[in-house]
Amino acid sequence: MNLSLPARQLICLLLLAALTPFVHAQGNFVEARIASLNGGGATLTTNTGGVFKLKSGDALKPGDVIDTRGGAQVLIEMSDGSVVIVRPGARVVLKDFRAAGTLRDLFEVLSGRVRVKVNHFGGKPNPMRVNTPSASIAVRGTEFSIAVNGNETRVVVHEGLVEVTNLFAPQQHALVEPGQGV
């Protein structure tokens, strides 16, 4: 088949666009996407101030705010295999979750309840941190729940181990094991 130069260039660009998410998932770049929504409404406020109704398949970026106070439950899937369930009545700000080589800030729970399952990344620990107005939660491949009400944060571990640090008194920290909470 003898294709013109513009046609060959177009095919190369289409192949590159199709392979980019796969290459990023295999390298050190992590993507987040809305996998599903259940129930009422949920909005996405971008870091530029735009407000949109969330829908399945939406890509997420650092600085985006997910608001489920309209009654929806949102399932976020990360390309590293981690999953975040934002329960109805919550507000969550996505942080710099993209750089997989170091301790990554996954998100900040401003209010409400969230359940997180952090997978190992490429067979190695997947160090992440989740923040709230009153706590910092460091995880290493685990499953846990967070509930935030004002300045009160509750963390319950379902699997694995997390370290919770009080942001008002950083010397106060606890390792939390499965079946325990703080």
Query: Beta strands of the chain (E only): which ranges?
Result: 32-45, 51-53, 59-60, 65-78, 83-86, 91-94, 104-117, 128-131, 135-139, 143-149, 152-159, 162-166, 173-176
What tokens appear for 167 in the block? 């942001």
Closest by CA position to 139, among listed 123, 157, 153, 154 = 157
pLDDT computed for residue 140 by the predictor: 65
What tokens appear for 153 in the block? 């944060």
Q: Are the C-beta atoms of 134 and 159 separated by less than 8 Å?
A: no
CA distance linking residue 110 with residue 53, whole number of Å:
19
- Beta-bridged to residue 71, according to DSSP, are 41
Closest by CA position to 64, among listed 90, 99, 92 = 92
pLDDT truncated to tens, each residue of the chain (182 aa)? 565 555 445 454 444 444 444 333 344 457 889 999 998 889 999 988 899 999 999 999 888 999 999 999 999 998 878 899 999 999 999 887 665 455 567 889 999 999 999 876 666 666 778 888 998 888 866 899 999 999 899 999 999 888 898 989 889 988 899 999 89
